[in-house]
């Protein structure tokens, strides 16, 4: 009933936006223009109830990811989306991109006109704003999903990120969820992100094109708002997702594993142990996984049983022994430890560990990595012991500000981490 009422709200918001918002006067930007002058593209039909609407939320304002060469990652990915949409029936499927880069933010529809030409249609222009502000993001989602209602929805969050780590935490990285330096280095906390999703339509998938986000703590916090969660446990490749390959899969039913596989294979094909690596030739590989969110509450319960039998586990020893995807220096290091390896080191009964493993394999719908991954802090490093999902391990002898913040996460409570003194 609550979701039905919410759908009616979004339909109303869409009607209001279409009446007061953008019409033909906003203009169209055709791609691949022919050498001779061509007639203006025929306006797209008014949006109807579609099969799926996907929003790519790009936060790239003065944070090193903006559209200025040679680090013009945002514009490169938009170009890939324009290519990928060619294989999509845009009469029933809607791809939207909110872009906050060095210019004023804008919401675009990437689609095909009546003649089949790919176009980038301006839906709404915004004044300068902090795109990491939860009120701002909520407004953009209202504009996007309200104007283009559908049977299902997807969201891609594109920016810097740092898992569940809140902001500000002294000496604990540079990222969190999103970074808008055009608005005074504004960043979003996980709790704010969850509040944004709570007011949005339920998502079929959420993909983070951002670093360190294949985190059980983050996925668990968002479990009520999304069915499938896609991310990387380490630092993303500079060029990000290959949107020309994954955009068609965004609108295919039950294709989240295919999306992740296409992401991985694009980098596997040019992988060369990092030799000659550059943003134009990313030979440093990648790793990516899919979490089936429906299994997360059972995974929390299974983890709790492990923790109940593991009192006395030395957290500092575990920090030294468990595989860590975070290769930053001590002043910025957080620690994104391999969850499966962590559990295997716990002194719990084997039957309890085996039961946990079975649930973990249900939760991890897809996982793959190249033999090495690249870190801007340490260069290439081995992924030999990597298994996908990350889990934090606090230090109990050193005063890390992140450790106290960790105890406020829902995962900490439900997974029973207090049983081992964390």
210-269 confidence digits (pLDDT tens): 888 899 999 999 999 999 999 999 988 988 999 999 999 999 999 999 999 999 999 999
Work out the average pLDDT over 321-332.
87
- Do residue 134 and residue 275 come from a single domain? yes
Q: Which residues of 287-305 are buried (b: 16+ CB within 10 A; e: fewer)?
A: bbbbbbbebbebbbebbbb
Instruction: For the chain, give the number of residues.
Output: 422
- Do residue 254 and residue 126 come from a single domain? yes
**Is 36 inside any structural domain?**
no
- Of the candidates 210, 217, 203, the one whose C-alpha atom is nearest the C-alpha of residue 234 is 210
In the prediction, which pLDDT does 401 show?
Answer: 66
Residue 51 or residue 179, greater confidence: 51
DSSP labels, 307-344:
HHT-TT--HHHHHHHS-B-----TTT----EEHHHHHH
- Do residue 313 and residue 270 come from a single domain? no
**Is 112 inside any structural domain?**
yes
In the prediction, which pLDDT does 318 show?
Answer: 95
pTM: 0.85
In the prediction, which pLDDT does 174 show?
Answer: 40
**Is 401 inside any structural domain?**
yes
- Do residue 313 and residue 241 come from a single domain? no
In the prediction, which pLDDT does 295 show?
Answer: 98
Structural domain tally of the chain?
Answer: 2
> Around 128, how many Cα atoms within 13 Å sit in the side-chain half-sphere?
10
In the prediction, which pLDDT does 70 show?
Answer: 52
CA-to-CA distance for 355 and 359, rounded, in angstroms?
7
- Do residue 6 and residue 76 come from a single domain? yes
In the prediction, which pLDDT does 181 show?
Answer: 53
Position 334 pLDDT exceeds 90: no
In the prediction, which pLDDT does 68 show?
Answer: 47
Q: Of the candidates 231, 259, 292, which is a domain's last residue?
A: 292
Quick one: three-class SS letters along 344-408? HCCCCCHHHHHHHHHHHHHHEEEEEECCEEEECCCEEEECCCCCCCEECCCCCCCCCHHHHHHCC
Work out the average pLDDT over 281-294.
97
How many CB atoms lie under 10 A from the CB of residue 347? Answer: 11
- Of the candidates 396, 391, 402, the one whose C-alpha atom is nearest the C-alpha of residue 421 is 396
- Do residue 267 and residue 136 come from a single domain? yes
Q: In this structure, what are the phi and psi dihedrals at residue 280, rounded to the nearest 5 degrees?
A: -85, -15
Work out the average pLDDT over 76-83.
94
- Of the candidates 77, 71, 85, the one whose C-alpha atom is nearest the C-alpha of residue 57 is 77
Q: Which of 27-41, 141-155, 405-419 has the highest mean pLDDT?
A: 141-155
**Is 214 inside any structural domain?**
yes
In the prediction, which pLDDT does 132 show?
Answer: 83
- Do residue 247 and residue 283 come from a single domain? yes
- What is the SS3 assignment for 133? coil
In the prediction, which pLDDT does 308 show?
Answer: 95
In the prediction, which pLDDT does 38 show?
Answer: 42
Position 29 pLDDT exceeds 50: no
In the prediction, which pLDDT does 172 show?
Answer: 42
What CATH number did the domain enclosing 218 receive?
3.40.50.11970
In the prediction, which pLDDT does 299 show?
Answer: 98
- Do residue 285 and residue 307 come from a single domain? no
- Do residue 377 and residue 405 come from a single domain? yes
Residue 167 or residue 351, greater confidence: 351
Position 1 pLDDT exceeds 90: no
Position 397 pLDDT exceeds 80: no
- Of the candidates 311, 235, 334, 318, the one whose C-alpha atom is nearest the C-alpha of residue 277 is 235
In the prediction, which pLDDT does 131 show?
Answer: 81
Residues of the chain with pLDDT > 70, as a percent, come to: 79
Mean of the per-residue pLDDT values for the chain? 83
Work out the average pLDDT over 292-306.
98
CA-to-CA distance for 155 and 300, rounded, in angstroms?
25
**Is 37 inside any structural domain?**
no
Q: In this structure, what are the phi and psi dihedrals at residue 241, rounded to the nearest 5 degrees?
A: -70, 145
Q: Of the candidates 273, 292, 311, which is a domain's last residue?
A: 292
Residue 359 or residue 188, greater confidence: 359
**Which tokens sit at 77?**
């990915």
In the prediction, which pLDDT does 402 show?
Answer: 72
Work out the average pLDDT over 117-140.
90
**Which tokens sit at 122?**
């301006």
Helix (DSSP H) and strand (DSSP E) numbers for the chain: 13, 16
Whether 98 contacts 115, CB under 8 Å: no
In the prediction, which pLDDT does 279 show?
Answer: 86
85's CB contacts (< 8 A; 6+ apart) are 95, 110, 111, 112, 118, 247
In the prediction, which pLDDT does 276 show?
Answer: 95
pLDDT tens sequence across 301-312: 999 999 999 987
Residue 38, classified by CB atoms within 10 Å of its CB into exposed (0-12), middle (13-18) or buried (19+), is exposed
- Do residue 19 and residue 160 come from a single domain? yes
Q: Of the candidates 247, 274, 292, which is a domain's last residue?
A: 292
- What is the SS3 assignment for 156? strand
In the prediction, which pLDDT does 224 show?
Answer: 97
- Do residue 285 and residue 303 come from a single domain? no
Residue 283: which domain range? 2-31+42-292
- Do residue 339 and residue 266 come from a single domain? no
Residues of the chain with pLDDT > 90, as a percent, come to: 59
Position 162 pLDDT exceeds 60: yes
CA-to-CA distance for 172 and 267, rounded, in angstroms?
29
């Amino acid at each position: 009933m609550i979701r039905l009422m919410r759908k009616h709200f979004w339909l109303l918001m869409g009607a209001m936006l279409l009446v007061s918002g953008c019409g033909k006067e906003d203009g169209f930007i055709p791609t691949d223009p022919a050498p001779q002058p061509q007639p203006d593209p025929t306006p797209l039909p008014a949006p109807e109830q579609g099969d799926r609407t996907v929003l790519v939320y790009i936060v790239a304002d003065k944070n090193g990811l903006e559209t200025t060469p040679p680090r013009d990652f945002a514009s490169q990915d938009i170009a890939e989306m324009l290519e990928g949409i060619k294989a999509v029936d845009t009469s029933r499927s809607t791809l939207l991109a909110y872009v906050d880069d060095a210019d004023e933010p804008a919401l675009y529809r990437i689609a095909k006109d009546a003649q089949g030409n790919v176009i980038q249609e301006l839906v709404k222009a915004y004044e300068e704003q902090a795109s990491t502000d939860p009120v701002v993001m909520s407004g953009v989602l209202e504009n996007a999903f309200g104007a283009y209602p559908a049977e299902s929805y997807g969201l891609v969050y594109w920016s810097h990120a740092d898992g569940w780590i809140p902001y500000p935490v002294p000496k604990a990285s540079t990222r969190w969820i999103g970074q808008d330096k055009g608005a005074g280095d504004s960043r979003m906390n996980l709790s704010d992100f969850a509040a944004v999703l709570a007011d949005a339509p339920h998502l079929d998938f959420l993909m983070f094109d951002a670093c360190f986000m294949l985190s059980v703590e983050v996925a668990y916090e968002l479990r009520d708002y999304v069915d499938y969660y896609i991310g990387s446990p380490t630092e993303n490749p500079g060029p990000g997702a290959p949107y020309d390959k994954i955009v068609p899969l965004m609108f295919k039913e039950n294709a989240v594993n295919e999306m992740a596989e296409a992401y991985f294979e694009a980098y596997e094909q040019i992988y060369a142990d990092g030799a000659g690596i550059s943003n134009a030739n990313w030979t440093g590989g990648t790793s990516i996984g899919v979490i089936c969110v429906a299994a997360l509450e059972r995974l929390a319960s299974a983890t709790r049983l492990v923790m109940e039998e593991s009192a006395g586990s030395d957290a500092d020893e575990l920090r030294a022994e468990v595989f860590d995807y975070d290769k930053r220096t001590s002043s910025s290091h957080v620690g994104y430890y391999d969850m499966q390896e962590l559990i295997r080191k716990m002194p719990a009964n084997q039957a309890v560990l085996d039961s946990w493993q079975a649930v973990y394999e249900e939760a991890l719908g897809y996982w793959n990595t190249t033999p090495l991954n690249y870190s801007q802090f340490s260069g290439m490093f081995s992924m030999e012991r990597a298994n996908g999902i990350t889990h934090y391990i606090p230090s109990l002898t050193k005063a890390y500000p992140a450790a106290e913040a960790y105890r406020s996460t829902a995962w900490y409570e439900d997974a029973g981490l207090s049983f081992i003194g964390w």
